[in-house]
A and B are shown apart, each in its own frame.
Chain A
């Protein structure tokens, strides 16, 4: 496989993993009755989630631009 393909897939993978993992870092959706439920379990988890989205889509740019 070409290096650019690997990087692209890696970026997608990292993005998706960030999204999935950070989802579990967020405040739990089923919890409403305690103070902790109002905080993400890891600080800035939503930002990590969004970062995942950005990385995943950036892969397209990388893939298009990357020189083989």
Chain B
């Protein structure tokens, strides 16, 4: 597969190692599993999922898919934030993770959009009708116009603009991808004027994206937070808590991705420990803020709950969702303590960070699930009785497939373009 010229490209671009092929095939299998699940769902109708109607049918009409929408969009948050911060404040030690953060954002957003699509009863119609009839009064308007369209497009633009210098460098040497690089570079000559212009563009883009991102995530919080009819949802804390947990899961993803990339590409010199430390500290701060929100919300609901809030909090604290609730809380508290310990002792270890990051992401999925589901099964204001929901194999398959697709995308990207920004002379 490899040609002589390709070997010239840095970071293993264009060279398909056995490990990479195995990884790629593995991810493809997961993705294929998701496709099978989705085809089955389309064949049967959404009865193939575990979701059912609220009320007399005693189900939850939003389930794992919507939880994953919230989760994926949350993950995207951190990517672009970190990338923007790096560019804005020129944090040199983080330069190595900037691009992977950008890629992560885009992949997570696409997965989030796909998760919405698989949740729609009429997906094709959804694509058309949202743009044809979309109503600003629906919090979904924000979700598709700002989050998916604006934010995703802005992130793509951002990635593109920051990729041009690398593309120009790669375009200088012969390879099968040379044409692509030349196209991406689009006339980049690395002149001081161009650099200055580039800095200006990325600065202003970062400035625009950051508030857009807060607004976008808040509208996602509003999807739930504006519903008076659902105990557990109607809360002003929904939006800030959404954004914070989004940061937690996203930073966690960057840490994991950075650790993998550093190992696989043998690039520990490019992504150094102090990058991990910076990310770890950031993660720690967000974690404590989020734990604070959680405690505040818990105390508020427990202090003087309405009868309906009580049913819900009982289900969360000691009922059928207790294992997810306490599991998630542990998945947040333990990493918080691990990070605090490392911060206090100043003894940072990447492996611990990775463990903490995986834990917070599992916890984040758990928390998203708990936001979406219990308010439906245990939050009926009329005495319908307690409902139940558990995802069917189809939903698990589709979610696994989405992760598989994400892995495929990132894996493919790594073989096409440097996942770590090139240093002077690297190429």
Q: Do chains A and B touch in the complex (CB under 8 A)?
A: yes
Q: Which residues of A contact B (CB under 8 A)?
A: 23, 26-27, 29, 32, 38-40, 43-47, 49-50, 53-54, 57-58, 60-61, 63-65, 67-68
User: Shortest beta-carbon distance, A27 to chain B, in Å?
Assistant: 5
Whether the pair A53, B130 counts as a contact (CB closer than 8 A) is no
For A65, the chain B residues whose CB sits under 8 A away are 186-187
Of the stretches B131-139, B270-278, B331-339, B354-362, the one at the interface is B131-139
A and B contact pairs by CB, cutoff 8 A, 30 listed:
A23-B136, A26-B135, A26-B136, A27-B133, A29-B135, A29-B136, A38-B133, A39-B133, A40-B135, A44-B131, A44-B132, A45-B134, A46-B131, A46-B141, A46-B145, A47-B131, A47-B132, A49-B134, A49-B145, A50-B145, A50-B149, A53-B153, A57-B153, A57-B205, A58-B157, A60-B205, A61-B157, A63-B197, A64-B201, A68-B193
A57 vs B160: C-alpha distance when bound (angstroms):
12
Does B164 lie at the interface of the complex (its beta carbon under 8 Å from any beta carbon of A)? yes
Nearest CB on A from B355, distance (A): 38
Please name all residues of chain B whose beta carbon is closer than 8 Å to the beta carbon of A39 when the two chains form the complex. Answer: 133
Q: From known contacts A46-B145, A61-B161, A67-B187, infer whether A40 and B133 are also in contact, taking CB-CB under 8 Å.
A: yes
Docked complex Cα distance between A38 and B193 (Å): 51
Q: How far is the CB of B250 from chain A (nearest CB, A)?
A: 21
Query: Which A residues lie within 8 Å of B161 (CB)?
Result: 60-61, 64
Query: How many Å lie between the Cα of A67 and that of B191 in the bound state?
Result: 12
Q: Is B410 an interface residue (CB 8 A)?
A: no
| Bound CA span A19–B230, Å | 32
- Any A CB within 8 A of the CB of B198: yes
- In the assembled complex, the Cα of A2 lies from the Cα of B89 at a distance in Å of 28
Inter-chain CA distance A44–B128, complex, in Å, is: 10
Complex-state Cα separation, A29 to B158, whole angstroms:
32
Contact indicator B134/A40 (Cβ below 8 Å)? yes
